[in-house]
Structure 1
Amino acid sequence: MRWCGFTEGCCGALASALSSNSSHLRELDLRGNDLHDSGVKLLSAGLQNPHCKLEKLEMRSCRLTEECCGALASALSSNSSHLRELYLCSNDLHDSGVKLLSAGLENPHCKLEILELGSCGLTEECCGALASALSSNSSHLRELNLRDNHLQDSGVKLLSAGLESPHCKLEKLEMVQCKLTEECCGALASALSSNSSHLRELDLSRNPLQNSGVKLLFAGLESSHCKLEKLEMRWCKLTEECCGALASALSSNSSHLRELDLRGNDLHDSGVKLLSVGLEGPHCKLEKLEMVQCKLTEGCCGALASALSSNSSHLRELDLRDNHLQDSGVKLLSAGLESPHCKLEKLEYGDMLIPHVLEVKKLPLPPLTGAEAAGFERRP
C-alpha cells in the first residue's frame, strides 16, 4: 500500500487486523503515507500482540520523528515480536530516536535482522548506541543501512568498535555519502581483520576516502580473518596510486572478495594495468568488476585481455561503460574472450546511454559506432 494517501487515521484498524488471532500477515509496506508518530504508536501496539506474525514492515517517507521510536523499541523488545525487517529511511528520527531504537535492539526478545535508517538526520552522536546494540550478545542484526547521514569519521570509529565485538553478527553495512574521509579507514580495516568479523558486504560510495584511506582498507582485506566478499567504492576520489595496494589485496591467498565496484574514480590505464596483475594472481577470486567512468582508453585493454585469458581468472562480469576504449581496445578485449581459460559471461562497454552488452560467451562483439568510435562525450 505504497503512496496511497493514508494518514494516521487508518493505523488503529491496521493494528486491530495485525493482532487478530486469525492474521497470517508477514509483510506490510506503507511507504510514502503520512502516518506520523501517532499512527506508528497505534501500529506498535498491534505489533506487541501475541497473535501478530508480522516479519517485515516498510515505513519509508512516512513523516516520522524521534517521538515514535520509543513505541517501536517497545514493539521490538516484546517477547511476542516476530519482526525481522524494519525500513525507516527518509524520516526525521535523528540521533535521539535511534538511541531509543538501539535500546530495543539490545533486548533479548528482539529478533530484528535488517534495519534501514538512510536519510534519517543522524550524526556521530548515535553511533555509540548503535555500536552497543551491535555488540550485544542478544543482537540478531545482519544488515544495517546508514546511507546519507552525517556520521563522519568519529562516528565510524565508534561503529567499528562494535563490529569487532565477538557478539556482532553484522554481514552487510551501507554508509554511502556519510561524510567519511581517510581518517576512518584504519578503524574499518581493524574491524574487517578482527577474528570475530562477519562482514560480507561493505558500501562506502560517495565518500572522499582518497588513496591514503583505501590503502589502509586494502591492508585489512589481506587479513586471514577478513570475510568481505563485496566492496563498493564509487566516486571515492581514488586514482591509479591505490591500484597496486588493491592488486595485492586481490591476489592475497586469504582474499574472499567476489565483487568490486570502482566506478567514478580516475584510475586511468596505468591503474588498470596494476589491477590486472592482481586479477591474474592464482588466489584472486573476483567474479564481478565495475569500472564505469574511470577515464580508461584502449591503453589498458591488452592488460585486461591478459587477465581474462589467465587460467586462474574467475571473472564472470566486467562493466567498462563510459570509457574511451574505441575499436582498437575492443579488438584487444576480443582476443582475451577467445581464450579457452576465459570465464567471462557478461561484458558491458560503450556509451552509458547506448551500451553494448554481451551476455553469451564467445559471441562476436558488436563494433563501436558513430560518436562512440570517435571518442564520445557524455550526453545530458
Structure 2
Amino acid sequence: MAEERVKDSLSEKHSSVSLKSDQSKDGHPPDLREKTPSSVKSVRSGSCVSSSVSLKSDRSMGHPPPDLREKTPSSARRHLVADLVSSSDNLQWIFQNLESKMIRFLKNQLENFRKILQHKNRQEFIKEFNENRSRITEAALDLTLFFLREMKQDQAADTLQDELFFINQLKCSLKKKYQSVFEGIAQQGDSTLLNNIYTDLYITQGASEQVNTEHEIRQIEAASRRHQSLEIQVECKHLFEAAEQDQQIRTVLTKGVAGIGKSVSVQKFVLDWAEGKENQDISFIFPLPFREMNLKEKERQSLKDLITQFFPETKGLNLTRSTRFKVLFILDGLDECRLPLNFAGNETCRDVSSAVSLDVLLTNLIKGNLLPSALIWITSRPAAASKIPADCIDRLTEIRGFNDAQKEEYFRKRLTDQNQAREIIDHIKQSKSLFIMCHIPVFCWISATVLQNILKLKHRAHAETLQESPKTLTQMYTHFLRFQIQQSRRKYDGENTADVSWDPNLILSLGKLAFQQLERNNVIFYESDLKDCGIDVYKASVYSGMCTQIFKEETGIILGTMYCFLHLSIQEFIAALYQHLILDNDKTQAEKSRDESMTDFLKTAVDKALESENGHLDLFLRFLLGLSLQSNRQLLRGLLTQQDDRDQSKEEIIAYIKQKLEGNLSPERSINLLYCLNELNDQTLLKEIQSHLSSGSLSSAHLSPAQWSALVFVLLTSKEELEEFELQKFQRSDECLIRLSAVIKTSKRALLQSCNLTVQSCESLSSALQSSNCVLRELDLSNNDLQDSGVKKLSDGLKSQHCKLETLRLAMCNLTVQCCESLSSALQSSNCVLRKLDLSNNDLQDGLKSQHCKLETLRSELGQLID
C-alpha cells in the first residue's frame, strides 16, 4: 500500500524535477547523500543547461528566450554567458542549501522513527509526529517505509505503518465519535464534551456469580445499603491491571443495571486512549456493541471482515502481525445480544481470516482461540451476565453508579451556578427515594434538568426555594415529561406558553410501545416492533425529534435504525401513563363509577406486582399509583382527566396496601409497598416508627407486621451506614431477629447475645450469611439456647462462597460434641474465612481437636485460648 503510493508520487515528482540525474532515469529516487546533482556538475564544466530547467534572468523574464543560433555581437554574447554562469552559480547554492535542509529534516524524522521502533519514549514521539502531521511528514514516512521494504526489513516497516497509519487513523476516528455526549436539553442538537461533565463512577471488584433476576431498582436499593469500606474499588482506567505481578487479566466482565453508566464508562475509557491519556500500552481498541451485531447472526464472516465493517479506516491491517501488540475488543451490551452464544457446542476457530457465523466468531474470541493475546471487555446488565462461562472471565467488576460523594460532584459539575447546585443537592437529600435513585447517573441528569428549570421559573416569579418541588419519583418524571414536551413545542412550533399543548395520539402510541415491550422485557426496539403498535418509521423520526430526551432513534453501522427510551424507568413511566390514558378513554364507565374503576384497577396492579417474585413491576406500580393523585394529574391537564378532590380511591388503595403489609411478605416486597405509600403521600406508618425510635420504646413496643416492615424500611434507608446492630435495643426474640434479618446482614457487627434466641434464629442467620449482599464480619450469639441443631444450620452459612464472617462467638450456647462434625466441616471448607471462634463454656470435649482450618484463635473449654 505505502510502497505503491511512494512509487507513484516519486514517479510524478521525478517527471517534474528539472534536474535529472542518470540515477533518476530508471525510476529510483535520487540519492540525497550526493553533494552535487550531476546536472549542476555539467553546468560547471561548461556544458549546456538542460532545456527542462527554467533559468530566467532579469532580461528574459516576460520575453521569449534568446535565439542562441542567431549571430550576436561579441559584447552581447559575453553578457549572455555571464548571466548563464551567474544563474548556474545561484542555482548551485540553492540546491546545496536545499539538500542540507532535506537531509537535516529526513535525519530528524528517521531518528523519531527509530525511537518509535525501539519503544523508547514511543508515545511521546508518536504524539509529536501526529501533532505535526503534514504532507511533508507523511512523505518522509512513505519514503522510510519504501526503503525499509527495499531492504527486506518488513517487520520494522509493518510496525511503523501500524503505529503511524492504522493506530493514528483509528484514534482520530474514535476521538471524533466519543468526545461528545448528548446530555442536557438538546435544543438545537447541541452536544456536550464528555470531559466537561464526566464524573467518576463507583466500580467494585467482584460480584455475585448467581443470576440476579430482580428488578434493577431493587438491586440499586440493595447496593445503596452496602458498606463501601468493605469493598475493593477499581478505577475504570485500571481494569486490566492485576494486583499481583504474576497474574494476567485477559477478560473482564463488568455488570451494572440500566443507566448506571456502563456505556459512558466505555466511552470515557476509549476517549482517554484516543487522546493519548491512558492505557497507551494498548495499540488497538475495537468497541463492538452487541445491538449492532445482532442481525449478522446468519451471515458467515471472518473477524478481519467484521473489524473492517465497523472500522473502515483499518482496512489493510494485518491482524495476525498485530499479535505482538495489545489489542482490546469491547463487547458492549451483552444484555442486548440476540445470539445463542453456544460456548460448549460451537466449532473451534483460530484463523482471523476464516468465515464463520457471528456466534462462532464471538465465542472463540472470548474463549481465546482467536487472537489469544487480545484483551476482552464485556459489559452487561446483571440478568444477562451468566451467558459468559465463569472460566472465561479473569476479573468480574460491578458498576454501582454514583456513591453519595459522586452524586454531589455530578451536580456541581453539571450546574455552573454553585448556589443552585447546592440547593438542588439539599432538596434531593430530603427525599430518600430520590437520593437512592441518584445512584443512577441518568436520574441525576433528569433531576438536574427538572429542578434547574423549576428554579428558573421560581426566580422569574420571585420565589426562592424548591420547597414545593418534586419529592417523589412520579412527581419528578411528570415534571420531566411536561418540560420535554414544552421544549419540543418551543423548538418545532414556536410555542412559548406556560401550558403544555399535548398530542394525545403521540403519547398513546409511545405508551403502547412502552407497555407492550415492558411486558416482553425489551428495551431496544426495531421497525417491526413499532409497526406492531401502529407507528410508521416516519412518525418514529418525528417522535424522536419532539421527544429528544425521552424516545431516541439511533442509526447503526450494520443494524440500521434502532429505537429505545432514554432509560428503563422512563419506559416504565410512559407505560404507566398509557394505562391511565386507556382507563380514561373507556367510555363504557359511568362517571359515578369512575372511582370504583380506578380503585379496582390499582388493586389489581398491586396484586400483580406482589405475584412477581423478581419485582419486575415494582417501579411500574409506583408510577401507576402516583399518577392516580390529583396533584400529579393536574400537571398533565389536557392529557389526563381531572378528578374530584373528594374521590375515595386514594384512601381505599392506601388501606389496601397497608392490609397487604400485614401479611407475610419478603423485606423487598414490603419495602416497595412502603415506597408506594410514599408515592401516594402517605407516611403515617413511617411517622409511627420514627416516634418509637425517638422515644426509645421499641424494646417493649408490640409492633404489627406493617410496623415491622416500616421499621426495616427506616433502618435500611438511613443515611448512616450500620456499623453495629444490637438486638437488645429492639426485642429479645426470634421473631424480632427474623423480622430484622434484612437489616442485620447490612451491618458489620451483629450483637445478638442474651436475646432468648433458638434454632429458628440460626436458620434465618444462615440464610443471611449465604446472601450475596451480606456484609457481616462479626457475629456474637453468646448465651442463647441454640443447641447443636442451631450450630448445624449456621455451619451451612459458613460454607457459602458469599459468607464474609471472620469472628463468631458461641459461648454458653448449650452445645455438645455432636455439633463438632458440622463445625469442623465448615472450617475446612475453602470458602470459610472465619479467623476467630469462641466456643467457651460448652461441653465439646475434644471434638475439634483434629480439625484443619484457617482459624487463628479458638476459645474452647472454660475459656482456654488456643492460638
TM-score of the aligned structures, taking structure 2 as reference length: 0.19
> Which structure carries more helix by proportion?
2
TM-score of the aligned structures, taking structure 1 as reference length: 0.43
